[in-house]
Amino acid sequence: MNLTRHPLWSVGFRPFFILACLAGLALPTWWALIFTGGVPPPLTFALPAVQWHAHEMFYGFGWAVFGGFLLTASKNWLDVRGWHGGALVLLAAAWLFDRLAMSLGAGWPPALFWLAASLFQVAIVAMLLHTMLPQKVRGGASDNYFFWILLPLFLPAKLLILREAHFAEGWAMTLALFRVVVLIMLERSQVQYMRHAFQAEILRDPRLDMPIKWLALALACAPWLPAPVAGVAEAALALLLIVRFAGWKPWLAFSRLDVGIMYLGYLMIVAQLLVDAAGRFVELPWVGSVAAHLFTVGVLGTIMPAMIVRIAKGHTGREVVFEPADKLVLWIMIAGLAARVVAPQLHPGGYAMWLHLAAGCWLAAFLVLCWRYTPFLLAPRVDGKEH
């Protein structure tokens, strides 16, 4: 059998959601052990431990989910089949090469390290743009041009996050770019979810949606702006998001966990913006990088598991229904958010305990996802379609 024709390589979400689940269960657990002194940082790490943690959560875990999602979304967004077969095999190999470089690359020749660190990101950006750019001529979604600007910006952001002297700028730029991806994804998906779940229409007004996206994109430059200017811009974006949220019928969404979890992630974007904006004007006594973890745990940690469930079911020909085990995963991730962000403010002395508890939530949730969905991702669609 030609391995590139295996169902695993038929569409982008299949290999990358498996990789994301493995990263989601392993990376936070490993970091918690390192941070609390349970294990020493390996001498093979190519980066300082904090820098490694930030890079791997965004460019390892985060890009495994978003990469799989965007490689798959072209089918619905553009009516174009995404990359598959041998190209997908090589892309997954490049992702693994990047992970090896970050964890084992301390003694590698610089040229080999930078090849490994760059290959996946350059390749997936080029592949996604190759899929999206021709749709300008054929009439793709009206705001796909955001991706033409957004996706290439991940390349300098990754370069900066790998440079110790520019780590803070690279991390902030990366977070801002992920925020734009999440906002575009929520705009497009929540309309469908609310129609399907409640036969309800939510507010979609270009006079509100476009300023939100442009301002969110502009905040990728926040590390180089004066702190008051960046703070005002963040507060303005938060205000626009709050106004739109009121028109998205949250009272309906929060009556169902599978839809409400996406709205919780939306609110965590608002909270992160407000906390970060306030911190640019006054020093606040937060414990544990609250602004950072409101996004990584509060946004990515709530939205991404729900995305994995929906896509792994819907794109394998199954009915998209959140079963008890799926809902358990979401509740575990909500508990992880409380442990990582809320609990340390209430009991700072137990910080190490809260960190381990939050990491344990990620481990448990992604173990369940791995157990439930790896068989789906390795098997052909149940409805007989190829992809």
pLDDT tens digits, 331-374: 999 999 999 999 999 999 999 999 999 999 999 999 999 999 99
CB 276 within 8 A of CB 234: yes
Q: What's the rounded mean pLDDT across residues 121-133?
A: 93
Using alpha carbons only, give the angle 342, 161, 91 rounded to the nearest 5 degrees.
100
- The structure tokens 């079911």 sit at 313
**CB-based burial label for 242 (10 Å; 0-12, 13-18, 19+):** middle
CATH of the domain at 122: 1.20.210.10
* Helix axis angle, 206-218 to 145-162, nearest 10°: 20
Count: domains in the chain? 1
pLDDT at position 74 over 90: no
Q: What is the pLDDT of residue 1?
A: 56
Inside any domain, residue 383: no
CB 13 within 8 A of CB 72: yes
Inside any domain, residue 387: no
| Spatial distance between the Cα atoms of 47 and 20, rounded to a whole number of angstroms | 21
pLDDT at position 142 over 80: no
pLDDT at position 262 over 90: yes
Inside any domain, residue 199: yes
Where does the pLDDT of residue 175 fall: very low under 50, low under 70, confident under 90, or very high at 90 and above? Answer: very high
Q: For the ranges 53-62, 86-95, 282-291, which has the lowest average pLDDT?
A: 282-291
pLDDT tens for 103-122 read 999 999 999 999 999 999 99
Q: What is the pLDDT of residue 138?
A: 47
pLDDT at position 292 over 80: yes
Q: What is the pLDDT of residue 145?
A: 81
Mean pLDDT of the chain: 95
pLDDT at position 140 over 60: no
Inside any domain, residue 52: yes
pLDDT at position 139 over 50: no
State the residue range of the domain holding 111.
Answer: 3-378
Q: What's the rounded mean pLDDT across residues 88-108?
A: 97
**CB-based burial label for 206 (10 Å; 0-12, 13-18, 19+):** exposed
Q: What is the pLDDT of residue 137?
A: 43
Where does the pLDDT of residue 384 fall: very low under 50, low under 70, confident under 90, or very high at 90 and above? Answer: confident
Q: What is the pLDDT of residue 136?
A: 53
Where does the pLDDT of residue 143 fall: very low under 50, low under 70, confident under 90, or very high at 90 and above? Answer: low
Q: What's the rounded mean pLDDT across residues 36-59?
A: 96
Where does the pLDDT of residue 134 fall: very low under 50, low under 70, confident under 90, or very high at 90 and above? Answer: low
> What are 283's two structure tokens?
């020093």
Rg (CA), the chain: 20
Q: What is the pLDDT of residue 144?
A: 76
| Spatial distance between the Cα atoms of 152 and 125, rounded to a whole number of angstroms | 6
Inside any domain, residue 68: yes
Q: Can you give 191-219 as a three-state secondary structure string?
A: HHHHHHHHCCCCCCCHHHHHHHHHHHHHH
First and final C-alpha spacing in the chain = 18
Helix, strand, coil content of the chain in percent (nearest 5):
80, 0, 20
Q: What's the rounded mean pLDDT across residues 221-245?
A: 98
* Helix axis angle, 167-198 to 206-218, nearest 10°: 160
pLDDT tens for 297-337 read 999 999 999 999 999 999 999 999 999 999 999 999 999 99
| Spatial distance between the Cα atoms of 134 and 107, rounded to a whole number of angstroms | 42
Where does the pLDDT of residue 51 fall: very low under 50, low under 70, confident under 90, or very high at 90 and above? Answer: very high
Q: What is the pLDDT of residue 146?
A: 86
Inside any domain, residue 266: yes
- The residue among 269, 242, 300 whose CA lies nearest residue 54 is 300
Inside any domain, residue 384: no
CA distances from 258 to 319, 320, 381 (A): 14, 10, 23
Inside any domain, residue 186: yes
> What is the model's pTM?
0.96
